[in-house]
Amino acid sequence: MPALPCTSLCFLAALGVAASSAFDITNQSMGLDWQSSNATVGVVDLHGATWKLSFEDHFDRLDRAVWRVTDDCSTQGGCIHNDEKQVYLKDQVFVQDGHLVVEAVDRAHASPNAGSRQYRSGKLDTSTSFNQQFGIFEARIQLPQGGPGIWPAFWLMPHGGRCWPMDGEIDIMEYVGKTPDDVYGNYHFGGGCNANRHYDSNVCGPTGASYGLPLRQGGFHTYKVVWTPGAIHWFVDDHEFYSLPPRGCRNPALFFLPTKPFYLILNLAVGGSWPGDPTSATSFPQRMLVDYVKVYSYLGGSIDTTIMRHSTSSPGTTRAAASPATINTTNI
C-alpha cells in the first residue's frame, strides 16, 4: 500500500445518540465471504435484523494467509506514525492458550527503515484477505494492564482507499493507559488529503466518544460497531454508547459516512502524541489478548436502534471526552 500522508486527530468528545428508532437497509456487503478453519457459518438475528457470519477467527492458530503481520517496515508503506516509540515486529504477534497475543516489550531494536526504537510491539490486519462494506464488526478483547504510553486499538480502514481520511476511518476501540478506565470509539473523515474534519464543529461537531469501564479489574470485553449506509453505532459489551451521524450538524452536506469496503486492524502502539510516552510507572511486557474476531453481513430486516440502545444493562458510563490531540502520521 503506498504511503498516505495524513494527520489524524484523536479528539474524543461528549455525545448524544442520534438515529431513528428503526430503519431499513439493503444488503451492501462487498467483502470476501471468508471464514477461518475454526469458523461456524450461520445466520443470526441481532438488533432486530438478520445477519450472516462472514468472517470468524477464534485463534486456535495464527493464520498468516489471513492476517498480514507487520514486520519492521517491510509490509507497510510507512514506518512510525503519531510520534510513536515502537517498531512493529512479527515475533510480537502470536497465539497462546487459545488467544491472539499482541505483546509490547521494552527492548530496543535497530530498524533499517525507522532507526533505533526503544520498544517492540505488534500489528496485524486483513488488508490482503478480507474486507467488507457495512455490517457488524466485533472482537472480544482483554486490554493491556495500561500505564502511560500504552495504546491498543481495534479499527477499520478502507480497502483501496484514497489519501487519508477521504474514505474514512472507523476506530471501534481505542484505549490509552493514561485514562485507565475509559475506552474510545471514533470516526475520521475529510474531503481531501490530511483534511481531517473530525474535530471541526463547523462541519458536524464531535465524532468520537469515550465509555467508562472498570478496566483495571482485567477481564475480556466485547467491542463492536454496527455499520449501515445511514449510521454507525458503537458498543461495549452490547451497550450502545455512541452513534453517527450526530445531532445538530451545522453543515450536513460536508459530513459523510464511509461507503468503501473496510478491512480489520489490531495493534498495540507504545507512546505517541495522544497517549504520551511511557514513564517509570509503565511496566512491561504489556499484552492485548484477543479471544475472537467476528464480522456479519446484513441479510434483511428492520434494524431497531431502540433495541440496540437498551438491550443490555451495563456497569459502564458514557464519558465526556479528553482534550483534542493532533496525531501526525505518514501512513495509516
Residue 263's pLDDT is 97
Q: Which residue has the higher pLDDT, 105 or 8?
A: 105
Average pLDDT, the chain: 76
Beta strands 119-121 and 86-88 are parallel
Query: Of 130, 3, 15, whose CA–CA distance to 66 is shortest?
Result: 130
Q: Where are the beta strands (DSSP E) in 58-207?
A: 68-69, 86-88, 93-96, 99-104, 109-111, 115-117, 119-121, 123-125, 135-142, 150-158, 169-174, 182-188
Distance CA 92, CA 331 (A): 21
In the predicted model, is pLDDT for residue 123 greater than 90?
yes
Hey, where are the domains in the chain? 18-320
DSSP string, 184-212: EEEEE--SSTT--GGG-TTTTS--EEEEE
* Number of neighbours of residue 47 by Cβ within 10 angstroms: 21
- CATH entry 2.60.120.200 includes domain 18-320: yes
218-239 pLDDT, tens digit each: 799 999 999 988 888 999 998 8
What are the grid coordinates assigned to 268, written together?
Answer: 498495540
Beta pairing partners, 130: none
Q: Give the mean pLDDT of 87-107.
A: 97
User: 248 falls in which pLDDT band (50, 70, 90)?
Assistant: low
Residue positions annotated with a catalytic role: 169, 174
Distance CA 74, CA 116 (A): 16
Residue 194's pLDDT is 64
Distance CA 143, CA 151 (A): 10
38-77 pLDDT, tens digit each: 444 578 887 788 899 999 999 999 999 999 999 987 554 4
Contacts of 17 (CB under 8 A, 6+ apart): 240, 242, 243, 305, 309
Q: Give the mean pLDDT of 109-117.
A: 84
Distance CA 170, CA 208 (A): 10
User: 243 falls in which pLDDT band (50, 70, 90)?
Assistant: confident
Q: Which residue has the higher pLDDT, 5 or 299?
A: 299
Chain length of the chain: 332
Largest CA distance in the chain: 54
Q: What are phi and psi of 145, to 5 degrees?
A: -65, -20
